[in-house]
Amino acid sequence: MYALKELGKYTTLLYQALRSSTEFGTYRKNLFHELVKVGYDSVPIIILVGIFTGSVMTLQSAYQLEFAFIPLSTIGAIVSESILIELAAVISGLVLAGKVGARVATELGTMRVSEQIDALESMGFNSVSFLVVPRVLAGILMFPVLYIVASVFGIGGGLAAGYFSGSVPPADFLKGARMFFYPWNVVFGFLKSFVFGFIITTVACYKGYYAKGGAEGVGRATTEATVMGCIYILLADFILAALLL
């Protein structure tokens, strides 16, 4: 019963956001602000995540395939395909559920409990259009960009780790990466990051927008936004893989 009630409130918020998107022009400068916060500010952590994910994948693949009689280029293929099809989107999504989701839920939750949202409404603002729509739009626009960043640095990190550890020469790594490259995998990764961006921002907006109970309530909203964001990302990842692969 509780889950149904929550789902109803979440859907209502999405409907209000969709309905009020016609007024979005009034508040469009909020979008640029959010694009910077969601996208630009997340680039350093995404680069770091990408590099380490690619590096670790290369080193572990080389370790596992050390005594197998298969060409070294296979490692390049495994690393690049895993990154493009799964890791760049999912690991970035999980990290951003913490970074972006927590920030959005905390911001809106604090605004709710300190009556700033009431103040907006009382002045005649459409608070959903003003607060929720720019954040969701920033999520679905910037997550695919961050997916590209994660992919580039993931593959680059894998290539560098192979070179510096001496386990995979760059030429073999790139040969494998090119040989098994399917454009659909990039499209699939894009689609996933788009969906994850939507999930993270809408869940965080929902939890923050309806936060109640002072500092404890904001803390609860932030935790729930992060945890639920992660769970829904894994669930969506499974559903998309089952449907589209």
Q: Which pairs count as long-range contacts for 59-64, CB under 8 Å and 24+ apart, including other chains?
A: 59/161, 59/165, 59/167, 62/162, 62/165, 62/167, 62/168, 63/167
In the list 12, 26, 165, 223, the residue contacting other proteins (rule: CB under 8 A) is 26
**In the complex, what is the shortest distance from the CB of residue 240 to other proteins, in angstroms, rounded to a whole number?**
35
Under rule CB under 8 A, residue 24 binds other proteins: no
Under rule CB under 8 A, residue 126 binds other proteins: yes
Mask for 27-66, x = binds other proteins (CB under 8 A): x---------------------------------------
* Residues in binding contact with other proteins, number by CB under 8 A: 14
In the list 121, 141, 194, 217, the residue contacting other proteins (rule: CB under 8 A) is 121
Torsion angle, alpha carbons of 130, 135, 138, 140, to 10: -120
Q: Which stretch binds other proteins (CB under 8 A): 50-58, 121-129, 162-170, 191-199?
A: 121-129
DSSP state of 71: -
DSSP string, 2-29: HHHHHHHHHHHHHHHHHHHGGGGGGGHH
**In the complex, what is the shortest distance from the CB of residue 116 to other proteins, in angstroms, rounded to a whole number?**
5
Indicate the burial class of 55 (C-beta count within 10 angstroms; 0-12, 13-18, 19 or more): buried
Which residues of this protein are in contact with other proteins, per CB under 8 A? 26-27, 110, 114-116, 118-119, 121-126
